[in-house]
Structure 1
Amino acid sequence: SIIPKIALLFLVIGSISANAQLSPNFYDSTCPDLSNIVRDAVRAAVAAEARMGASLLRLHFHDCFVNGCDGSVLLANTATFTGEQSALPNVNSLRGFNVIDDIKARVESACPGVVSCADIVALAAVEGTVALNGPYWTVGLGRRDSLTASEAAANNDIPTPLLDLNGLISSFANKGFTTAEMVALSGSHTIGQARCTSFRNRIYKETNIDPTFASQRRANCPANGGDNNLAPLDEVTPTAFDGNYYGNLVGQRGLLHSDQQLLNSVATAAQVKSYTTDSQAFFNDFASGMVKMSNLSPLTGSQGEIRRNCARVN
């Protein structure tokens, strides 16, 4: 009978379209000004607060590492699910939602019901990086927004600052990244800030740390209290996307336990040292890694939806 063959054909076509490649030109006819809208909004936000560039990059990373780049990280809790914003890596630290909401409002005004929140997050990440003099990467578009979010998945999948080198390697390998890609993507810590609670143990108890650096950090991160006090991940150029993060590691001035772990194998230490003298190689490797991250398990075609409000399903 021809009917099973037709059914099989539709099944194959369906699976292909569900995994369709994202395209940078996806909105060329339906929302041609999208890139300019996102760029203008992000530049204004970063000009008002440089840290926002790092916050938007991190928002994209935390979205993509949990069930793919599907905008699930933006969903507020509901009666039926507790979302990713309540997860330990995100609560009291993930930010930039207001900027995404602002961009979404501008985009909805220009082309209502067309652009997903997941795509806005992906575009905002690259623009936030470029605004701090970091590399540009081409963002494929056409993601759809998820219908739910999972606190448990976020707790399980997002790497913590307490991981040792093997833990970092495993966490990224679980998402298809090589160890070299993990080292390059860790360079996102050339910008942004961390809370005292994330690095207290390192500055008080670890020995692979420059004593002067540890002492400086203790001044604003007491042994007890001050959990939300902030320190720059790169103390030298905290608001410039550059290779200084890697130089800090060589000098044992990595702020997080997980940062300093990158020196704990011959291969990763060699890569760290190479980036201290070749920032262009770092930029190229970082951009390649971000393209790969932005392609993690997107919803496409008829999957998911285009949210009207990024914080809740339609």
Structure 2
Amino acid sequence: MTRIKTIVLTILTVFVLQSCNVGTTGTWKDENIEQSLKNEIETLDIKVLEAVTTNNIELLKSIMSDKLLEKSGDNIGQLLEQASSVITTTDYKVLNQFHTKNSTTGIGNTIVSGVSGLNDYTVNYQALNEEMFISLLISKSGLDEFIVTNIYGNYPDGWKLNILHFGQYKVNDKTAPELYSEAKVEHENGYLINAANNMFLSSRVANPVNNFWQYQKEEEMKGFYEKVMKEINSKYKFPMTLEAIDSKPQILSIYPKGTEEGYFPMIEYVTNLDLKDTVKTNAEYEKVHSEIIKAFNGIEKNKDYVIYKAFSEIPNGKTPVPTYGFVKKLK
């Protein structure tokens, strides 16, 4: 079975829920929201980002609702510390904003960004207030984008945070549906590994606001990913020995490796050669590359690099194993 390595994403959630009541809801989006209200929310959004980037617990607490303060307990410091590892600047762009008015409290709010666009989504939460506001902010870090979800309630003393969430919105400068769209084209072209790698990345950012968020194409994406993985598992068996090479290296795994320039295929394999003999291992790696592009159709297509890591033995995940890396520049 192909082993795909997990990408570690920072996904943190602080939220409060209460029992659902029945009522009616009216929602305004983006340019249909009164500018004076958007200005008021902007002030709070900036405070959230400032609190994260400066690790200012008291600033964040000052705009949190009592119920959120109660629910989060002593975890605010940990939340800020982890969030600040990916939210490193107060610069942001607004993805979408929604202003909601409910006939009563405690009802479920379902916010729909659209129904036919590639990246359309819904946000679901329970409204603690008759008047709510969702502000979805995008913070960019290299080829990745992170989404800060601020859901406010209007209290007698003003707008306060009820829900605060940090998650990854884009990986390799693409959303989950955009990666899915690319994967479908690659699959049609017979580039099975490329399709699998893109669907793996897609799955990592498929729910950028955790259970609150659902892309309109979510079930479609899941079904396609399952289909691709079934094809992978029926076609390839790992470890896979490259019999055409005298030293008989074994391919262990193929997965997308993140770099500052983007994500590229990473090939991990076991060599029977002495890793200290760089002349022989380099010659073997060149042969490995030739066999890889034969075995995995299209793996080098539209790529700047293919990355290789040779192991002296199959790693067991417990004891460190000597390795040596190679980068095949394609362009």
TM (norm. structure 1) is 0.25
Larger RCO: Structure 1 or Structure 2 (Cα < 8 Å, ≥ 6 residues apart)? 1
More helix by percentage: 1
More strand by percentage: 2
